[in-house]
Structure 1
Amino acid sequence: MASVDQLINAFTTLLVTIDPPGLAPVFLGLTAGMSRPQRQQVAVRGTIIAFVILAAFALFGASVLGVLGISIGAFRIAGGLLLFWISFEMVFEKRQERKEKTSAAAITTDHIQNISVFPLAIPLIAGPGAISATILLSGTLATTVEQLQLLIVIAGNLLLLLAALLIADRLDRFLGVTGRAILTRLLGVVLAALAVQFVVDGVHLAFAGHVNG
């Protein structure tokens, strides 16, 4: 059974990585010209697909690492560095620009067909950062009960994301340009701190494994 602190850490890590407020305006760009029911269908389908992807990595990601001969400690260091880079992009607004470029390319090439799969589910929701964070968290929540709790945490985050997508037009008007910028930077700083903690934990695990080996 995971502690309350572990669950809060897991929830916060995934929340700032998935970044619902940052995805909401991008989702509006992806679904431009669609009716509200069509937009809702895209949001629900994309969220479900993203949950399946993240759940698969939560349950089997550590096993895949074991087959590849990669230790959890090493992956925590690498994943922490990746999350830190994402936080750097969030603080300096690079991540939002990249998301908007991805959405623009999808509108041009796919003509809004299957956008719930690409780029909404992959890579905007279940992107490298979210997948890395999920595998990192699954390493700390290893028992069956803890993995079930992690799946609930993932589902909770994606339900919040779905809510943000369904009210994206109102959320975008409410936050405005300044509000989005402040919130994204704040979430970026929080993610940076969590990323550093991942690296520190990974170094401890790596050295412990080296000493025991």
Structure 2
Amino acid sequence: MHADHLIKDALILWATIDPVGTLAIFAGLTARLDQKARFRTALKATLYSAIILISAVLVGQLLLSAMGIRLISLQVAGGIILFLFGLKMIFGNGAGEDPSHAEEGHDIAVFPLAVPSIASPGAIMAAIVLTDNHTHPISDQLGTVMVICLILGITFLFMLAAAPVIRLIGNNGASILIRVMGMLLAALSIELVFEGLNLFNLLQLPS
């Protein structure tokens, strides 16, 4: 595998997985959890994301084709779900609240951290496109999987770095951060939907 191919894949996956943005989201979502709970949440979110992205590499194209689902539809759906969660954070019912009052059966490591934050629609699409069986040999696909695992490892380390940030801002700062991140999540979700709709419109244009 050529180094320039690895670098290109790494840049695309870094932009779509966005470890820095995940750090900010993680800090807001886990502001009221203790250190052990934050570690477990970060670890589970990383593992879940790895499973999702590697599964996308292995069976993503086949599954979406079999179900008649386009990647654009996946992006729009992820944006709508993310918008609803952002609203919950803004109005005080987000996952950053006291975990003892969390919705039963809801694990923030799964949603919204693993999906759609880390394994975002963009990251899933990138994983599928960068490992397209029709254009990339097996060696290139294995290299891309290694790059995915490396960036997820960096994302995990970034999430662990949220602890000193939370200690610095305190409880009041944490409450503000939760709502600010809710607004940013809502804005990001709208961008995802608009981007998907724009791509859809482009595909509908006559050649």
Give your verdict on TM over 0.5.
Answer: yes
Look up the equivalent residue of 1:93 and give its one-letter code. Answer: M
Number of matched pairs:
190
Q: In structure 2, what is the equivalent of residue 19 of structure 1?
A: 25
Structure 1: state its 5+ residue gaps: 110-117
The structure that is helix-richer by fraction is 1
Contact 1:49 1:121 in 2 (8 A): no
Q: SS at 1:25's partner residue?
A: coil
**Which of 62, 65, 68 in structure 1 is aligned with 2:66?**
68
Q: Could you say what secondary structure the match of 1:181 adopts?
A: helix
Residue of structure 2 in register with 1:82 after alignment: 78
Residues 127-206 of structure 1 mapped to structure 2, 5 A cutoff:
127=115, 130-131=118-119, 133=121, 134-142=123-131, 143=136, 144=141, 145-164=143-162, 166-167=163-164, 169-170=166-167, 173=170, 175-204=173-202
Q: Is the 8 A contact 2:76 2:196 kept in 1?
A: yes
Counterpart residue number, 1:115: none
Change (3 A) 1:10 1:98: same
Q: Could you tell me which amino acid in structure 1 is paired with residue 73 of structure 2?
A: I
Query: Superposition RMSD on alpha carbons, in Å?
Result: 4.3
Matched, 1:59 2:57: yes
Letter in 2 for 1:87: F
| Superposition deviation, residue 65 in structure 1 | 2.0
In structure 1, C-alpha distance between the alignment counterparts of 2:158 and 2:23, rounded to whole Å:
13
Q: Deviations over 1:96-142 (max 9, x none)?
A: 62425794366988xxxxxxxx7253345323565452422323333
Of 191-200 and 91-100, more deviation after overlay is shown by: 91-100
Residue identity in the other structure for 1:22? G
Partners of 1:52 and 1:186 in 2: CA distance: 24
**2:114 alignment partner in structure 1:** 126
Map 1:21-40; keep pairs closer than 5 Å: 21-25=27-31, 28=33, 31=34, 38-39=36-37
Report how far residue 84 of structure 1 moved.
3.8
Q: 8 Å contact 2:16–2:126 — kept in the other structure?
A: yes
Structure 2 gap segments, 5+ residues each: none
Displacement of 1:160 in angstroms is: 1.7
Structure-2 residue corresponding to 1:113 = none
Residue pair 2:90, 2:182 contacting (<8 A) in 1 also: no
Separation in structure 2 between the aligned mates of residue 18 and residue 202 of structure 1, nearest angstrom:
30
CA shift, 1:159, in A, is 2.6
Q: Is the 8 A contact 1:16 1:190 kept in 2?
A: no
Q: In the TM superposition, what are the counterparts of 1:2-17 in structure 2 within 5 Å?
A: 2=8, 6-7=12-13, 9-12=15-18, 15=21
Distance between the aligned counterparts of 1:70 and 1:56, measured in 2? 21
Distance change in 2, residues 1:196/1:150 (3 Å):
farther
TM normalised by structure 1 equals 0.61
